[in-house]
Amino acid sequence: MVKSIAPARRSLDRTFAALSDATRRSILEQLAAGPASISELVAPVEISLPGLLKHVRILEQARLVETVKVGRYRHCRLAAEAGDDVSAWVDGLRERWEGRLDRVEQYVTNRRARPTGGREGKGKS
Amino acid sequence: MVKSIAPARRSLDRTFAALSDATRRSILEQLAAGPASISELVAPVEISLPGLLKHVRILEQARLVETVKVGRYRHCRLAAEAGDDVSAWVDGLRERWEGRLDRVEQYVTNRRARPTGGREGKGKS
DNA sequence: AATAGACTTAACCATCTGGTTAACTATTAC
DNA sequence: GTAATAGTTAACCAGATGGTTAAGTCTATT
């Protein structure tokens, strides 16, 4: 697993993983409507408060949420650039995917000979 | 129904989870350049073939990749709509987040004293 | 000071993940 | 038919994840 391609890999891992949980997404949706405290965030979701706190920590580590402790409250809000790297990655993929049209020629040339595709001598023979 | 922005929750769960793994993202990047077989996909990634197959299955379930078995090969390609629901969700969140400025009034009215939120103005720091 | 409120930490638990190897099936080549 | 190729399934494993309850800390109130 020694692959370090880009420095942002870990970061994207964490961001996508953070977004893969419906509870966390609903927290983000709630925060998109305005800041809230931990106990305000726990109300609409049916989990325990420590459970919710864990989610908030995860969202924080993914830089989707920022929090500050003020008195005995922790103010949580959506990070200004929340989701930027995610949509950047998706857009990048889509660009390649669309740009692929320019390269489709290659592929077709390589494959079109047989619809079954099994015989072009690719792979590791 | 101010609740959910995007398609089915479970579906988004699976999609984001699928994207949260760097190996799977690199598979997608590879497929964005053009279709490939399982053994072509396994080459650049250093994991076992069954390991890679698992990733492909996950990407398939997330509807990010489509595959067809042709002869003894399995042709894998990026799904046409890959990432659409993801960017829809992120964009939806961002819209709320920006639209929040219009609703700040509501929020301030609702919050009166200082249960949370701390600041009525907006701004980034 | 004592109590209540709002988190926070700790400990624990079931399940899910990502990975492996070994053995098996299905196609194609010889 | 036998062998090679390409993929599939099964069994297993360590570690991460999402959740819990119980107890502890820090602030604000009385």
How do the domains of chain A map onto residue ranges? 12-112
Three-class DSSP labels, B1-52: CCCCCCCCHHHHHHHHHHHCCHHHHHHHHHHHCCCEEHHHHHCCCCCCHHHH
Please give the full DSSP string across A70-113, using - where no structure is assigned: ETTEEEEEE-TTTTHHHHHHHHHHHHHHHHGGGGHHHHHHHHTT
Q: Which of B18, B24, B5, B59 is nearest to A25 (CA)?
A: B5
Tell me the torsion sign for CA atoms A105, A111, B57, A4. Answer: negative
Inter-chain CB proximity A118 and B70 less than 8 Å? yes
Mean of pLDDT values over B26-41: 95
Has residue A3 got a pLDDT over 60? no
Q: Is A21 on the interface with B (CB under 8 A)?
A: yes
Asked if residue A21 lies in contact with residue B13, where contact means CB atoms within 8 angstroms, the answer is yes
Across the range A30-44, mean pLDDT stands at 94
Within 8 A of B10 by CB-CB distance, chain A residues are 22
Token pair in block for residue A103: 């390269």
Q: What is the pLDDT of residues A58-90, one digit of tens each?
A: 999 999 999 999 999 999 999 988 889 999 999
The mean-pLDDT minimum among A21-30, A50-59, A106-115, B18-27 falls in A106-115
Cα B53 from Cα B49, distance rounded (Å):
6
Report percent pLDDT > 90 for chain B: 63
Residues 43-72 of chain B whose Cβ lies under 8 A from any Cβ of chain A: 43, 45-46, 70-72
Q: For chain C, which bases have at least one atom within 7 A of a protein Cβ?
A: 5-11, 17-23, 26-29
Does B51 score more than 80 pLDDT? yes
Does position A112 have pLDDT exceeding 50, yes or no?
Answer: no
The pLDDT score that the predictor gives to residue B7 is 54
| Measured distance CA(A74)–CA(A68) in Å, rounded | 6
> CA quadruple B13, B19, B22, B24: dihedral positive or negative?
positive
B117 contact residues in A (CB cutoff 8 A): 34-37, 75
CB contact under 8 A, B72 and A118: yes
Look up the CATH architecture of domain A12-112: Orthogonal Bundle (1.10)
C-alpha–C-alpha distance, residues A80 and B40, integer Å: 40
CA B71 / C1′ D4 distance in Å: 15
Residue among A70, A93, A104 whose CB faces B83 most closely: A93
Sheet holding B73-78, edge to edge: B36-37, B73-78, B65-70
Q: Amino acid identity, residue B50?
A: P
Question: Per-residue confidence at A104, pLDDT binned at 50, 70, 90?
Answer: low
Average pLDDT of span A97-101: 74
Closest CA to A25 of A57, A1, A51, A59: A59
- Do A118 and B71 lie within an 8 Å CB cutoff? yes
pLDDT digit string, tens, across residues B94-120: 988 887 665 555 444 444 433 443 333
Say which CATH class B9-78 falls into: mainly alpha
Distance between CA atoms of B120 and A19, rounded to whole angstroms?
28
- H-run or E-run covering B95: helix B84-111
Strand pairing of A73-78 and B65-70? unpaired
Mean pLDDT, chain A, whole residue set: 80
* Average of per-residue pLDDT values in chain B: 80
In this complex, the residue of B20, B39, B43 whose CB is nearest that of residue A13 is B20
Confidence band of B24 (pLDDT split at 50, 70, 90): very high
